[in-house]
Amino acid sequence: MLARRKKSILFGVKLAIGLLLLAFLVVNDGNAKKLVEVFAGVRLIYLVPFLAWSGLIIGISCLKWRLFIQHERSLPFSRLFLMYLIGMFFNNFLPSSFGGDAVRSYLLGQQVGSGSQALASVFLERLTGFLAMVSLALLAFLLTPALQEDVLVQWTVLGIAGLTGGIVLALWRPGWIQQGLMRISAGSRVARWGAKLERFHACIQSFRHQPRVLMMAMAYSYGFYVLGVVNVYLAGQLLGIRCDLGQLFVVVPIVMLIAALPLTPNGLGVWEWAFSVYLTAAGTFPEQGLAIALVIRGKALLISLLGGALFLLDGSMLRLREQPVKTPTSFEETAWQGTVDQGLPASQDEH
C-alpha cells in the first residue's frame, strides 16, 4: 500500500513537472501567439500523408515484433497490428509508460500460450529499437561538434549508451544473470518470481544463436528511425515549415533519446522542449519546432484513441476468446496473466 502511494506521488510530481514545462514553452517569449500563426499556415494537402505515414511506422514495428514470436505463422500481421495499437493506448493513457507493453504481452500470451515467450518478444522488440536509437544518437554526437559542446547531450548520449551497453553485455554473458536468478530463486517468498524470470531469460537466450533474426530486427529498427525522421519532415510540411531533411537525420535521434529520459510521463514537456531547442539546427525557429512536436504528439494520441476503441470492443476484433491457446513449449508458462499489473519494462511509442 505504501509502495503504491509512493508511486502515485512520484507520478503526480512528474506529471506536474511535465505540464509546467509544457505551459512554460507555450507562454514563454510570446510563443502562444506565434503558435497560432504557425497553425494558421496548415496545408491540408499534407494531412492524409502525415496521418497515413504512421501506418508504415507501426507496420515496420510489427514486422520486427513478429521476428521474435516463435508462432509467427499462426499470427496474422493484422492481429499484431491491432495489438500494437491497443498497446499504444495504454502507453499514452495509463499513469506510467509500462502499461502498453504489459498489455501487449498479455494479449500475445493468450495467443501463443506462453507469457514468458510473449514478454520476451516485446522486450526484444523494444531493446533492438532502443539500440538503434542509441547508436544513431551516438553517431550524430560524434560527427557534430556543436552537439559535443552541449552538456545535456553529452550526459544523455554517453550515459544512456553506457547503460545500454551494460544491459547488452549482461544478456550476452548469461552466466551473470543466471547467478542472480539463482539467488532470487533461493528465497521462498520470491522463488515463484525467480522461476518466471528464468523462463523469460531462457526465451531471450534462445535468440543468441539466431544472428539472422537479430540482424533483421536491427535492420527494421533503423528503418523505423528513417520513417520517424520523415514523419517529422511531413509534420513540418503540414505546418508550412521548411526543414533541412539532412539535418533532421542528425537531430531527431538526439531529440528522441532526450525524450526517452524518465523525467515526465511519456516525455511530456521534455519532447516539446527538445524539439523547440534542437530542431533549430534544421532551419526552424523555436516556436516552429514546438508546433511540430505538438502535431506529432497529437497524432500519436489520436492513433492511441483508436487502439482504446479496439480495446473497448472487448477483444472481439482480435478474436481473443475464439482463438485456441497453443500448446506450451519448453520455454512456456501459461500462468503469466496475473503478472500484467506488476510493471514491465517499456519505452516510448511512435511519436
pLDDT band at 183 (very low <50, low <70, confident <90, very high): low
Helix (H) or strand (E) holding 308: helix 286-312
Burial class of residue 159 in the structure, from the number of CB atoms within 10 Å of its CB (0-12 exposed, 13-18 middle, 19+ buried): exposed
CA angle 298, 303, 305 (to 5 degrees): 95
Asked, for residue 346, whether it belongs to a domain, the answer is: no
Number of domains in the chain: 1
Say if 9 falls within a structural domain: no
Q: Which three cell numbers stand for residue 231?
A: 514523419
Per-residue pLDDT tens for 165-176?
888 877 776 665
- Kindly indicate the confidence band of residue 262, based on its pLDDT and cuts at 50, 70 and 90: confident
- Residue 207 pLDDT: 83
Question: What pTM was estimated for this model as a whole?
Answer: 0.84
pLDDT, mean of residues 346-350: 52
Query: Which domain, by its residues, includes 331?
Result: 26-340
> In the structure grid, which three cell numbers stand for residue 292, read together?
511540430
| Crossing angle of helices 151-172 and 245-259, rounded to 10° | 70
Distance CA 315, CA 322 (A): 10
CA-CA distances (angstroms) from residue 255 to 96, 126, 259, 276? Answer: 20, 18, 6, 10
Higher pLDDT, 121 or 74: 121
CA distance 264 to 97: 10
* One-character DSSP codes across 132-150: HHHHHHHHHHHH-HHHHT-
String of DSSP letters for 197-249 = HHHHHHHHHTTTT-HHHHHHHHHHHHHHHHHHHHHHHHHHHHTT----HHHHH
Of 92-96, 145-149, 186-190, 198-202, highest mean pLDDT: 145-149
Dist. CA 323–CA 81, nearest whole Å:
16
3-state secondary structure 177-201: HHHHHHHHHHCCCCHHHHHHHHHHH
Query: Does residue 8 fall inside a structural domain?
Result: no
185 has pLDDT over 90: no
Banded pLDDT at 83 (limits 50, 70, 90):
very high
Report if residue 12 sits inside a domain. no
Q: Name the phi and psi angles at 335, rounded to 5.
A: -90, 20
Q: Which grid cell is 182?
A: 539463482
Express each pLDDT in 212-255 by its tens digit: 999 999 999 999 999 999 999 999 999 999 999 999 999 999 99
pLDDT at 344 > cutoff 80: no
* The predicted structure's pLDDT at residue 328: 37
Model confidence at 180: pLDDT above 60: no
Mean pLDDT of 318-332: 42
How many angstroms separate the Cα of 282 from the Cα of each of 28, 251, 333, 350? 22, 8, 49, 21
Q: Which residue, 66, 62, 43, is CA-closest to 54?
A: 62
Inside any domain, residue 349: no
User: Residue 187 pLDDT > 60, yes or no?
Assistant: no
Please state, for a pLDDT cut of 90, what percent of the chain lies above it: 49
Q: 37: closest CA among 280, 288, 272, 278?
A: 288
Q: Which residues contact 316 (CB under 8 A, 6 or more apart)?
A: none
- For 282-299, the pLDDT digits (tens) are 999 999 999 999 999 999
The residue type found at 248 is: L
Residue 21 inside a domain? The answer is no
Q: How many CA atoms lie within 13 A of 163 on its CB side?
A: 11
CA 124 from centroid of its chain's CA atoms: 12
Give the pLDDT of residue 335.
Answer: 32
Instruction: Check residue 321 and give its pLDDT.
Output: 42
- Statement: residue 49 has pLDDT above 80: yes
Task: Quote the pLDDT of residue 176.
Answer: 54
Over its C-alpha atoms, the chain yields an Rg (Å, rounded) of 21
C-beta separation of 283 from 244 below 8 A: yes
